[in-house]
Amino acid sequence: MILTDLSLVNYKNFESQSFSFDHKINCFVGNNGVGKTTVLDAVYHLAYGKSYFNPISSQNIRHGEDFFVIDGNFTHQEQPQRILISNKKGQKKIIKRNGKAYERFSDHIGLIPVVIISPADRDLITEGSDVRRKFMDGVLSLNDPAYLQNLLDYNKVLSQRNSLLKYFALNNTYNEDTLTVYNEQLDQLGTPIHEKRKEFLAQFTPIFNRRYAEISGGHEAVSLHYKSQLENTTLLELFTQSINKDKALQYTSQGIHKDDLNFEIDGHPIKKFGSQGQQKSFLIALKLAQFDFVKDKANQNPILLLDDIFDKLDESRVAQLLQLVKEDNFGQIFISDTHADRTEAVISSIHQSYKMIAL
């Protein structure tokens, strides 16, 4: 998949801007705050229907305006694909493919595979389990529409169950039969989600380990562990065991929406025991493994977005990363950096076609 050109209107800090791109490497250079990351985020937005950095669509509208438009033209196997995303304050966001609006945004997911490597990825290590679940679900959903639909349905029923628990508390009442209906629906939806996540980690972990060894030189042992409350019981049993707690909390405290990924280095949590360099290498390996996994499932090269990597990584890790990018199995790449000379010196050594875009 190749993005040939992009147009932004009232998107974040851009009033109106258009870009045309090289089929291989595109470098956005300029001072901080000029919009380099915004352009990369717009590409991500076209693929996933939402911003990587702020998924609340209305907050991506330029200050003082009441709408934004992102318009991108792609080619895949010589077939054109025009994707347009628009959002007006107070109205529902619209995603169009070749002029036709999607009825369900989920139908768009998977058409344009994109992987981003950003300083914001540090949240995967430092923040709570919801961030790591989002990563796992995002990789799975990109090439498995059934998984994505199951996940959407599970979250919808979960919200309904939570609303019922709040109703019980507010009205000092309880109806076991009604709650059982939601429990059974969550069990039917959640159990296959749990199984898919287990299968995913079994396939993904060896890819991740290989990528980490390439980046780090193989000096440390790293691991990913899927942590789920369903390891030793069923969802229905969890709901039965936690009913009193759920009634007191007024939300569902157990289930696959509490799953997590444990990140370890030499058998210890990388959040506590990994150096800054080891954590950066871990995250890059995680994202490159995502690239490999998505590429294999989609049978095409994802677009790779490298946000601010030159400022956030030491020179040896940048060199290692770019050596990997030199391989022919990478497709179109977008890079942002503050120093044009540094970027061009490194990129020109890769001996691929490229375009420098000053902002």
90: CATH? 3.40.50.300
Which of 307, 304, 351 lies closest to 326 in space, CA to CA? 351
288 and 319 co-located in one domain: no
Neighbours of 40 (CB within 10 A): 25
Q: Is 334 helix (H, G, I), strand (E, B) or coil?
A: strand
Q: What is the DSSP letter of 99?
A: T
Write out the two tokens for 265.
């280095």
Residue numbers in the chain where pLDDT is lower than 50: none
Q: What is the DSSP letter of 61?
A: B
260 and 285 co-located in one domain: yes
85 and 140 co-located in one domain: no
* Phi-psi sector, 261: left (phi>0), alpha (psi -120 to 50), beta: beta
- Total number of domains in the chain: 2
Which of 21, 6, 12 lies closest to 355 in space, CA to CA? 21
102 and 204 co-located in one domain: no
Q: Which structural domain range is residue 40 located in? A: 1-113+300-359
pLDDT in tens, 158-201: 999 999 999 999 999 999 999 999 999 999 999 999 999 999 99
pTM of the model: 0.90
E strands, 208-251, are: 222-227
Q: Residue 226 sits in a domain of what CATH number?
A: 1.20.1050.90
pLDDT in tens, 73-102: 999 888 899 999 999 999 999 999 999 999
Taking only Cα atoms into account, the Rg of the chain, rounded to an integer number of angstroms, comes to 22
152 and 50 co-located in one domain: no
Mark which of 298, 328, 344 sits at the end of a domain: 298
Is 348 within the bounds of a domain?
Answer: yes
Is 121 within the bounds of a domain?
Answer: no
